[in-house]
Every structure is written in structure tokens, then in C-alpha cells.
Amino acid sequence: MKKSPVPEIRMTEAALKRQAKIKQDKEKPIKTTAPVTRVSSSSTGIPIRRPLSTRLTRSVSNASNPCNNNKLSPESSAAKRSGAKKAKIEENSPTLIRRIKPKDSANLRNSTGSKNKPITKTGTRDRIPSSNSSVSRSTRKAAVDHEARAKILESRVFELEAKLEIMTKKLSRADELVTIIFPKILEKKEQQCKNIEEAALEKVAFLTSQAALQKAINTEQISNLQKNHEKSVAALNSRILEQSKNLSEFSDALKKSKQVQKELKSEIDERNSIIANFPKRLEKIASENEKKISEEVERRLKPFVEAKSLAESMKFENEEKAKQNKILREKNNRIVLENEKFREEIEKLRKFMHIAEDRSEMSLSRKS
């Protein structure tokens, strides 16, 4: 039995990328850095790590910018409302990591100075009050809320990183299974399936052969039964016809029985006379044959030279005559037996005649 080749397992591009990334992670040591957030790039789809301090500085700069707090146009107020709604939606969804962008170039310029400011125990940065800007309570509260959200997101990022490491390990194990273990299992399973299929085919062939033999035997039996049935039907029909003919003949025989009896009586008398005279005729024929044989033997034994040949020829003739006598005796015995049979038939016919006469008398008496 030929072994089928193991099917090649082609890895997709995503699986190849995962495998390359796992190799890179194994080669490079993991660096413990400050808590960071993950943002996926649009080109590769690989998450990008950015420090959390940039996000905090941007949020503080946005909150402390006096340009956005003093004079608000209706367009800017509508944008602010939509931004608040988006912030609420992002707070409710824990899996999203949002990034706070500065509204304009002035915010970017003001946010650069807040990178080097120390963070207090409460998580807020100590700001030096300036004469140009004044922070209201609402902006302070917003900054505190942003920092609390940032801490929550940091913890969420750590959890996601741990899950990512677990998933990478699982993916490496899955790649090993797909590339090494699964082909062997598939080969074994294919071999088992082939063995099962061959056994099933052999069983089916055996069963089909048995079924074909049984079918042929059944057809032969059915044909024989049909032939026997036809023969029995034909025999029954012939017997019915014979019985009908016999009934008609029996009715005719009853009428002709008296005439036949008279004829038989005359024939029996003639045969009796022949049988009585037949032994005498046989004796005469035998004596005549013996005389002829003796005369012929004497006549042929006269020449001495031809004695032997004549003796042999006479012996042959004697045997032939003996055979003829034997045949005549057998004929005589047959005639005697036939005479006895005729007498028995005559007696039967007499009995039958008496029975017929009795029946006719009974029928006449009933009619009268």
C-alpha cells in the first residue's frame, strides 16, 4: 500500500508576521520603562508605545490655556460639547485608549513647559501661577479627572501587556503544533482512514459477491419452481382431459359391453381349440425336425474328408434348430398365458355385465 504524501501547511502572512515578532521578542530583552499607552499605527497595525507624560502635559496645557477659557464663540462651544460627549463615551469603554490632542499651536507651545514639572502625591503637577493666566475650579477638576483616567488606563495597559505576552506564548505553541505535531497527526489519521476504507471496501466486495451468489441461486430456484409448477399444471390438465375422455368412453363401453362379450366368447372358443391342438402340432414339428436333422447328418457324414466341416455345420444347424424349438416353446407358453388372461378378462366382463344388469334392473325398478 502506497503512503500518501503529507499535505504541506501553508502559513498565512499574519502567521508569518507573528512568528517573526516572537523571534524578535525572544532575541531582545524586555525593558522596564515608565507606564505607557498603546496606539496602533495606521500603516502596519502594530501598537506604538508613547509615554504617559506627554498625554498629561497636553491635558494640563489644554486646561490652563487662557485663550480657550476667556472668549468662546458659538462654534467653539459646540466643539467643546462634542468633545465632552466623546470623553464620556471613551470613559465607558475600558478597552479604548484615547489620545488627547492639542486644539491649536498655542496649546502646543504652552504644553512644552510643563514636561519638567514634578508630580505631587495626589497626582497633580505644581504649577507656578502666572500673571497672564488664571485657572478656575472647573479646569482643575478636569485635570484631576484626566490624571485619574490616566492611572486607570495605565493599569489597563499593564493588564493588556500581560495578556499580550500570554497570547504570544500561546501563538508560538500553536505555530509549533501547526508546523510539527499536526502534520504527524494528520498522517496517522490519513493512514487510519485509508485502512478503514480498505477494510470497508473489502467487506463491501465480499458482501456484494455473496449477494450476487445468493441472487443467482434464488433465480435458479425460482426458475426451477416455475418449471415444476408448469409441468404440474400441464399434468393436471392432461389428467383432467383424460378423466373426461374416460367418462365418455365409460358411457360408450357400457353400451358396447354386451356386443364385446359375445365376440370375446367366440374368440375364446377359437383360441381354446388352437391351444388344445398346439402341443400336438409342436410334437409333430419337433419329430419332423429331428428326422430331417438325423437324415441330413447321416447324409453329410458319408464323405470322410468333409466329416469335420460337415459335423461343425450340422452342429451349428442343430443349435439353430434348438433355438427355433426354444422360441416355439416360448411362444406356446405366451399363448397359454394369454389364454389365462383372456379367461380372467372374460370373468371380469361377466361380473361387470352382471353388475350392469343389476344396475339397469334397479334403475328400471326405480322408474316404475
**Long-range CB contacts (within 8 A, 24+) of 3-10:** 3/191, 4/190, 4/194, 6/183, 6/186, 6/187, 7/183, 7/186, 9/178, 9/179, 9/182, 9/183
Query: What is the pLDDT at residue 222?
Result: 92
Query: What is the pLDDT at residue 85?
Result: 47
The low-confidence residues of the chain, meaning pLDDT below 70, are 1-13, 26-135, 300-301, 303-307, 310-311, 368
Spatial distance between the Cα atoms of 117 and 128, rounded to a whole number of angstroms: 10
Query: What is the pLDDT at residue 328?
Result: 86
Spatial distance between the Cα atoms of 358 and 366, rounded to a whole number of angstroms: 12
CA distances from 256 to 198, 313, 348 (A): 85, 57, 15
Can you give the three-state secondary structure of 268-293, one letter per residue? HHHHHHHHHHHHHHHHHHHHHHHHHH
Query: What is the pLDDT at residue 19?
Result: 74
The domain ranges of the chain are 13-126, 258-367
Whether the CB-CB separation of 90 and 146 falls below 8 Å is answered with no
Neighbours of 194 (CB within 10 A): 14
Query: What is the pLDDT at residue 17?
Result: 74
Spatial distance between the Cα atoms of 342 and 336, rounded to a whole number of angstroms: 10
Q: Which segments of the chain does DSSP mark as H helices, in order?
A: 13-27, 52-64, 74-92, 105-111, 137-176, 182-300, 307-367
Q: What is the SS3 assignment for 134?
A: coil
Residue carrying the nine cell digits 344396475: 359
Query: What is the pLDDT at residue 134?
Result: 53
Query: What is the pLDDT at residue 42?
Result: 43
Spatial distance between the Cα atoms of 189 and 145, rounded to a whole number of angstroms: 60
Whether the CB-CB separation of 168 and 162 falls below 8 Å is answered with no
Neighbours of 111 (CB within 10 A): 20
Q: What is the SS3 assignment for 49?
A: strand
